Structure 1
Amino acid sequence: MGPNYTEAERYYQAQKRVKKIREFYEHLTVYVLVNPIVIVVNYMTSPGYLWYIWSLMGWGIAIILHGLQVFSYPPFFNKKWEERKIREILEKENQKFENKDGNRF
């Protein structure tokens, strides 16, 4: 069973999610609008070396990772990973505390 959110909390969470989705689409739009300019500049300045491919690939990978994160498809760094990592850190801190004092409160 998930946490029991009030209507205001649910609205706030939905608002944050919509903002992240909007930011992803803005990022994608900039990618689509800027890269044709990069390609033209490459062909005008140094047609012998197609360096725009590196821009397309690097930025494209960033777009893919951003989309995976926004739409909750990442194989890592998702909410479950965050919760697991928080528990792991707290357990390590508790172990340090127990080892330091010899007992626990």
Structure 2
Amino acid sequence: MAFKAKNPGTIDSEQREQYDYARRRISEKKNLMRHFIVFLVGAIFIIIINPVLGYGNDFFFDDWYIWAILIWAFIFLVHALNVFLMNSFMGKEWENRQLEKLKLKQAEKIAELQKKVDNELQLPTTPPSTHRNSLNNPLPPDVQ
């Protein structure tokens, strides 16, 4: 028998899943860095607009730019916690554990329903010889 060798250029599903996970993580970290850069540039821009140019003093309260930067910093902090901290708690391993728990619960429910159905709808127990004596059998009952 001749066996075909695996094509070295292809990857199996587990490697593909790990690759996709790594790409997702890199994308999350890249977006966090972009958020940080936009935050720095935006904060500097807001600081230049209000105190230096005096824009916003007439229709906002004094030092509004500090509150705007603090709120934006809080949003950035939540984003960073989501990328680094929450992913370690609710990462791929957590998803797999939750999936296994749900599969186990579903299997238990199916087994419970099967027991219920078996108890409620018990099939009649008749010997196989009585089936031969039905109307479709042309032979008399004593001939087998």
- What is the TM-score with the length of structure 2 in the denominator? 0.49
Number of the residue aligned with 2:90: 78
Please point out which of 35, 44, 60 is paired with 1:36: 44
Number of the residue aligned with 2:81: 68
Which is helix-richer, 1 or 2? 1
Number of the residue aligned with 2:69: 56
Q: Measure how far apart 1:78 and its partner are.
A: 3.5
Aligned residue pair count: 88
The 3-state SS of whatever aligns with 1:21 is helix
Greater relative contact order structure (CA < 8 Å, 6+ sep): 1
C-alpha distance in structure 2 between counterparts of 1:19 and 1:65, whole Å = 17
C-alpha distance in structure 2 between counterparts of 1:35 and 1:60, whole Å = 9
Residue 6 of structure 1 aligns with an amino acid whose one-letter code is E
C-alpha distance in structure 1 between counterparts of 2:29 and 2:113, whole Å = 44
C-alpha distance in structure 2 between counterparts of 1:37 and 1:104, whole Å = 64
Q: Measure how far apart 1:104 and its partner are.
A: 4.1
Number of the residue aligned with 2:140: none
For residues 36-95 of structure 1, give each alpha carbon's deviation from its aligned partner in whole angstroms, at most 9, with x where no partner exists.
Answer: 111121112229711011111111011111001111x24xx83459x76xx79xx8xx9x
CA RMSD in angstroms, aligned pairs only = 3.3
- What is the TM-score with the length of structure 1 in the denominator? 0.64
The structure with more radius of gyration = 2
Is the 1:35–1:56 Cα contact (8 Å) retained in structure 2? yes
The 3-state SS of whatever aligns with 2:62 is coil
Unaligned runs of 5+ in 1: none
